[in-house]
Structure 1
Amino acid sequence: MSLFTKRPYLLALLIAVALAAWLLSGQTTDVAKPSTAVPPKAPPSLISVRVREQKAQSLTREIVLTGRTAPLRTVLLRAEIDGHVVKIGAQRGARVRKGDFIVRLATDDRALRLKEAQALVKQREFEYKAKRRLSRKGYQSQVQIAEALTLLESAKTLVKQAQIALDNTIIRAPFAGVLEQRPVEQGDYVSVGDTVAELIDENPFLIVGEVTELQRHDLKLGNTATARLVTGQTVTGKISLISTRADAATRTFNIEIEVANPKGELAAGITCEIRIPTETVYAHKVSAALLSLNDEGVLGVKAVGSDNRVVFYPAQFARATAEAIWLTGLPRRLRFITVGQGFVRAGDLVQPANEK
């Protein structure tokens, strides 16, 4: 039988001593403790964007609107006396010169009335001269002389009236132009005020259009404008009228551009595109695909600054076409983000790469 069997307390004492020795050895032994320091974070990777550097170009800002051609003046010729149409001087569509006769009315007894009035003038002149001679001899008073002079002037008035009535039997063109309408034919009877013909002045011609309230502010009389007709013709003229009253329904203002038409090639009512240059600005030509909205909902473009940070510029349009847009109010030289603008915001640091 062993000693620990006979005395078990000795085994317990031995175990206690061994445990105490092991605990004391942990305080004296240099044991490496795990490090609690936080390792430094790796810098975030920069977003790569593709940029295109370009320089602003000089651009003439224009007002573009739709208009139409129109004659400078259109006149309705009306009969000033009653009578039958006895002769036609010009056919519809014919070009006439100033003074050409278009319609002749019957003179009836107007020529006879003129001769009668002329004869009466001769009689009154003879009576007036005779009374003046008698007045020198004292046989006529000044009242009788005045009455004779009044009768003479009345007779001269009758001659003028008869001459005017005779002249009015011939209706002439007041200016050179095109005879657009002539609603009477030979044998028709016309009364005073009836329309006999419509005459259109061909040269100069007008281009008419409508501008908005803001556009009117940029226009001045005498500004040069160009119009391209749907027929392919292009004409240039100057603004001759800017309306001072807006249309009550559309709130737009009428403008007229006077253009030369010496050969009569323009016709009234043809649709055209009007371009009116207003000022010259510096602008960048970019694709409409570069436009985007910022957090406030403002439309603009994104570019990369000298510090490689994204800059947002609100869009100020100088011109827009189906192919491209021109933006003004930007720095003269700029690096536009062409690829990746949807993944960055203003202020972000990016890694730009130039377009190839």
Structure 2
Amino acid sequence: MKKAPFLIAIVLLAVGAYWFTRQPSSAQSPTPQAVPVVTVVASSNELPVVLDLTGRTEAEETVTLRARVEGQVLAVPFTEGQHVKKGEALIHLDPADYAARLRQVEALAQKARLDARRYEELKDKGFVSAEKLADVRASAEAQAAAAELARLQLSYTTIRAPFDGIIGARLVFPGTAVKANDTALAVVNRVRPLKVSFTVAEKHLPALQTALSKGSLTATITAPGGAAWEGPVRFLDNGVDRATGTIQLKATLSNTQETLLPGQFVQVRLVLDILRGAVTLPAQAIQQGPEGSYVYVVKADQHVELRPVEVAAQYQGQVAIAKGITAGDTVVSEGQLRLTPGALAQVKKPAPAAGQ
């Protein structure tokens, strides 16, 4: 009689196990839920290879004026910021000392010339030797050279514009003591034309060299405020900067209205190439993972497949794909965060084909 409860328990366990195993399989493994996504169809289009960079304007020519002789500033006749012409007088040093020195050496040179003529006559009469006449002639030539040097030094007391341009602020004033080749007097910039300097990563060097060899590389320069100009790229540096891995280029702008001035930051856009027949997608379709870029492709059975891709270029929200997908593939453009490889996708509303 004591074994009856034990036997009853065994029977109940057996009945429960039988009932559990007879339940439908759907209760044990529920149907996976479809993930709502938006898709786009990869298409074949043209896409430019564009570089957007930051550059700085430079004067075509720039000179810091310095005196070639010592002296004291006598007058500064220019107006700050004015346009100057080549050869125009900009600064006058006191010429008194140099004028007096010139008169002195000119007098000595005149005496030396007269001595040379007198010794020539004496040589003809046999009163002096040829060697003595040669010494007198050499002295006359030395005095003439000294006079020419004094004349040049006197001319250096007037500092003139080396080229057409715009002069900056006054750095000296009447009474300022000036040292030769040392004291900065003013800065003159030539701004027509104007150069724009910028750097590009060395990986683009082959494309740059190809474009420059064809003479077709043009930069679009945009200044703060939105004004834009185009100018040819005519300078590619002869070496790559080891510290930054970049190479310097310069574009030339006519700047006829002198809208830009040296030292401004500007935006530079270069079109290196046009990819024709490229497979394109919206940029939001591209995802980033530990192994690089990838997309989710929706297969015919509505399950998704993760595809690694190689991006060739990106422009205005469109991406050109070099490897990974082909035109006509359906790619997820929204809803990727809830997807895993092999997940079931529920397309909410297909987007238009890329590029349309």
- Normalised by the length of structure 2, the TM-score is 0.72
Q: 2:227 aligns with which of 228, 233, 236?
A: 233
Q: Give the superposition deviation at 1:84.
A: 2.3
What RMSD, in angstroms, separates the aligned Cα atoms of the two structures?
3.6
Q: Contact conserved, 1:301 with 1:336, CA < 8 A, in 2?
A: no
Letter in 2 for 1:328: I
- Is 2:334 the counterpart of 1:336? no
Residues 145 and 231 (structure 1), Cα distance of their counterparts in 2 relative to 1, 3 Å cut: farther
How far is 1:271 from its partner? 2.1
Quick check: 2:199–2:248 contact (8 Å CA) kept in 1?
Answer: yes
**Count of paired positions:** 308
**8 Å contact from structure 2 (residues 220, 229) kept in 1:** yes
Asked whether the 8 Å contact 1:69–1:206 carries over to 2, the reply is yes
What is the CA–CA distance in structure 1 between the aligned matches of 2:227 and 2:345, rounded to whole Å?
Answer: 53
Distance across 2 between alignment mates of 1:354 and 1:162: 88
Distance 1:329 1:245, change over 3 A: closer
Is residue 211 of structure 1 aligned with residue 200 of structure 2?
yes
* Correspondence 1:287 to 2:276: no
Q: Secondary structure at the match of 1:203?
A: strand
The structure 1 residue matched to 2:319, chosen from 326, 332, 340, is 326
Q: Is the 8 A contact 1:182 1:197 kept in 2?
A: yes
After superposition, residues 1-356 of structure 1 pair within 5 angstroms as 52-53=40-41, 55-192=43-180, 193-220=182-209, 223-237=217-231, 238-242=233-237, 244-246=239-241, 248=243, 250-282=244-276, 283-292=278-287, 297-303=291-297, 312=307, 314-321=309-316, 324-329=317-322, 333-338=327-332, 345=341
Q: Is the 8 A contact 1:77 1:197 kept in 2?
A: yes
Shift of residue 122, structure 1, vs aligned partner: 3.0
CA distance in 1, matches of 2:112, 2:246: 64
Q: Which amino acid aligns with 2:121?
A: R
User: Could you tell me which residue of structure 2 aligns to residue 30 of structure 1?
Assistant: none
Q: What is the alpha-carbon distance in structure 2 between the residues aligned to residue 230 and residue 329 of structure 1?
A: 35
Distance 1:173-1:292 versus aligned 2 partners, 3 A rule: closer
Q: Distance in 1 between matches of 2:81 and 2:288?
A: 59
User: Once the two structures are superposed, what CA deviation does each residue of 1:153-172 show, in whole Å capped at 9, x if it has no partner?
Assistant: 11111111111111111011
Supply the distance in 2 between the matched residues of 1:332 and 1:132 (Cα, whole angstroms). Answer: 99
* CA apart distance, 1:107: 0.9
Displacement of 1:211 in angstroms is: 2.5
Uncovered stretches (5+) of structure 2, i.e. residues with no partner:
1-30
Moved more, 130-139 or 89-98: 130-139
Do the aligned partners of 2:309 and 2:321 also contact (CA within 8 Å) in 1?
no
**Which residue identity does 2:204 align to in structure 1?**
Q
Letter in 2 for 1:325: Q
Do the aligned partners of residues 245 and 302 (structure 1) sit closer, same or farther apart at CA in structure 2, a change above 3 Å counting?
closer
Q: Distance in 1 between matches of 2:126 and 2:139?
A: 21
Change (3 A) 1:160 1:335: same
CA contact (8 A) 1:301 1:315 kept: no
Is the 2:75–2:174 contact (alpha carbons within 8 Å) kept by the matching residues of 1?
yes
Q: CA deviation at 1:308?
A: 9.6
Higher relative contact order (CA 8 A, sep 6+): 2
Cα 1:235–1:293 shift into 2, 3 Å: closer
SS at match of 2:47: strand
Residue identity in the other structure for 1:263: Q
Measured at CA, do residues 269 and 213 of structure 1 come closer, stay the same or move farther in structure 2, by a change above 3 Å?
Answer: same
Letter in 2 for 1:142: A
- Between 1:231-240 and 1:94-103, the stretch displaced more is 231-240
Cα pair 2:236 2:247 within 8 Å, conserved: no
Tell me the CA shift for residue 336 of structure 1. Answer: 2.6
Change (3 A) 1:297 1:188: closer
How far apart, in 2, do the equivalents of 1:276 and 1:120 lie? Answer: 66
Larger radius of gyration between Structure 1 and Structure 2: 1
- The answer on whether the counterparts of 2:47 and 2:320 sit within 8 Å (CA) in structure 1 is no
Tell me how far apart the structure 1 counterparts of residues 291 and 184 of structure 2 sit (CA, whole Å).
Answer: 62
Question: Equivalent residue for 1:25?
Answer: none
Kindly indicate whether the alpha-carbon contact (under 8 Å) linking 1:242 and 1:254 is maintained by their aligned counterparts in 2. yes
1:324-346 Cα shifts (integer Å, max 9, x gaps): 23223257732333478775858
Task: Name the stretch that deviates more: 162-171 or 77-86.
Answer: 77-86
